[in-house]
Amino acid sequence: MKIAKALTIAGSDSGGGAGIQADLKTFQELGVYGMSALTAVTAQNTLGVQGVYPLEEDAVVQQLRSVGSDLPPDAVKTGMLYSAEIVRAAAGEIAALGWAKVVVDPVMIAKGGSTLLQQEAVSAVIESLLPVSLVVTPNIPEAEALTGVKITALHSKLEAARRLQDYGARYVIIKGGHDGDPDTANDLVYDGSGFTELPGTRIRTSHTHGTGCTFSAAIAAGLAKGLSVMEAAGLAKEFIQAAIQDSLAIGGGHGPTNQWAYRLRTDKSVGNGGISRE
């Protein structure tokens, strides 16, 4: 049996809710062997980010080469990259290693407001990373920062998606988590010719730590298993909907999304792990 393998290039969240921890849990839950190349360590919990400690870009490059030379991934995702140097180094290795199924989650700011991508790295994402990506998954503030388009209505969302595609991403998914709609959380997919909506029901919860990481990791897991981009995006939407529905009220702040929830719903044999829904 072929074992699907996925790699996350991202930061560590000591609280376990976002970053590589969310990505690896998502890969595992979707039956994909998970690997990680760390870009930065964050001291973080549900209350916020207390410290950011980026790695030297050489350390990132070496991790990618170690994985690439022995365990070539079937799909890759990027998350927190922090600096222009790390963005360029990661993009350069992705190109050199010939990785094609690349999901870029252009993580910029943590939900509590801390910087996860330095301002001067935004142009490196546009110039180096988007050209080697298959899918880019910005939330609304990220799409605005990358394109300069202020997203106020559907037409501006479409314009931002077109610009992101012009930068080199084959597929653009603009996530609706921040769009202010009280009932829906719909995401918009642009494949270069048409727009498709990924519909979601908005769940009223403050426990949304790690939603973006989990969503993009689920897309990468789907791609690693051989799904098309549209199929992987549909799977990821179901996965994140369940993970937010059953999000975890732990810690004193924004609790984490629950990567276990999707499998609990689809596989009765795993039990409910003592989780009671609120």
Ligand X SMILES: Nc1ncnc2c1ncn2[C@@H]1O[C@H](COP(=O)(O)OP(=O)(O)O)[C@@H](O)[C@H]1O
Ligand Y SMILES: Cc1ncc(COP(=O)(O)O)c(N)n1
Whole-angstrom Cα distance, residue 263 to residue 182? Answer: 27
The span of 19-27, 147-155, 173-181, 217-225 binding ligand X (CB under 6 A) equals: 173-181
Element holding 223 (H helix, E strand):
helix 211-224
* Binding partner at 209 among ligand Y, ligand X, none, C-beta below 5 to 8 Å by kind: ligand Y
User: Smallest distance, Å, CB 22 to ligand Y?
Assistant: 7
Q: How far apart are CA 159 and CA 152, in angstroms?
A: 11
Q: Residue 209 interacts with ligand Y (CB under 6 A)?
A: yes
Under the criterion CB under 6 A, does residue 212 sit at the interface with ligand X?
yes
Choice between 119 and 193, CB closer to ligand Y: 119
Q: Is 240 an interacting residue with respect to ligand X (CB under 6 A)?
A: yes
Binding residues among 82-121 for ligand Y as defined by CB under 6 A:
107, 110-111, 116
Catalytic residues: 175, 208, 210-213
Stretch that binds ligand X, among 25-33, 159-167, 195-203, 220-228 (CB under 6 A): 195-203
Contact 189, 172 (CB under 8 A): yes
Partner whose binding site includes residue 200, from ligand Y, ligand X, none (CB under 5 to 8 Å by kind): ligand X
Which residue among 6, 90, 213, 240 contacts ligand Y (CB under 6 A)? 213
Q: Using CA atoms, how far apart are residues 39 and 83, in angstroms rounded to an integer?
A: 9
DSSP string, 142-208: HHHHHH-----SHHHHHHHHHHHHHTT-SEEEE--TTS--SSB--EEEE-SS-EEEE--BPP--S--
Of 4 and 233, CB closest to ligand X: 233
Instruction: Tell whether residue 11 is a contact of ligand Y (CB under 6 A).
Output: yes
Residues between 23 and 42 with contacts to ligand Y, criterion CB under 6 A: 42
Stretch that binds ligand X, among 124-132, 201-209, 223-231, 258-266 (CB under 6 A): 201-209
Residue whose entry in the numeric block shows the structure tokens 């990481």: 213
Q: Which two tokens stand for residue 142?
A: 């990220």
If 0-12 CB within 10 Å is exposed, 13-18 middle and 19+ buried, where does residue 46 land?
buried
Q: Contact 23/211 with Cβ under 8 angstroms? A: no
Report the interface residues with ligand X, using CB under 6 A.
Answer: 139, 175-178, 185, 187, 200, 202-203, 208, 211-212, 215, 237, 240, 244
